[in-house]
Structure 1
C-alpha cells in the first residue's frame, strides 16, 4: 500500500522571533522532533530560502495544528 505524502514549505522570512535563522539545520531538527513527538513521521530539511517538511497526508491536520502552535503557519 502506498502512502500519500504532503510537502509543506515555510519561508524563513515568515519565522517568528526566537528561531536562530543562522542555524537552519537546527531549526529543521526542532520542528521534525516536535512532529515526531505527536506521532507524525515527518522529515524536515533546509532548502536555502525555506524549510521543507514532508509528512503523511493523512496527518496533515495534526501537523498543521502543531505548526500553528509554534507560530510557523
Structure 2
C-alpha cells in the first residue's frame, strides 16, 4: 500500500496570470506539469483551494517543483 499526501494551495496564493484562469484549468495545468516532471499526481479544484494528491515518496520532488512555480 502506498501512502498518499495531500497538498492544498489556496486560490489566493496562485500567482498571476494563473489566478485569473478557471480553477479547474489551473488544477489541470498543475497536474500536467507535475506529470511532465515524472511526479504521479492528481490535482483538482475544491471550492476554496486546489488539492493535489500524490504518493508521499514523491513529496519532496513535488514540493521543490511547486516552489519553482511559485505555488508554495
TM-score by length of 2: 0.94
Residues 4-53 of structure 1: CA deviation (Å, up to 9, x unaligned): 00000010011111104440111001000011011111000000010000
Asked if residue 30 in structure 1 is aligned to residue 29 in structure 2, the reply is yes
What residue in structure 1 maps to residue 14 of structure 2? 15
- Structure 2 unmatched runs, 5+: none
Corresponding residue pairs, total: 72
Runs of 5+ in structure 1 lacking a partner?
Answer: none
Q: Which runs of 4+ in 1 moved over 4 A?
A: none
Please name the residue that 1:40 is paired with: 39
Q: Which moved more, 1:3-12 or 1:21-30?
A: 21-30
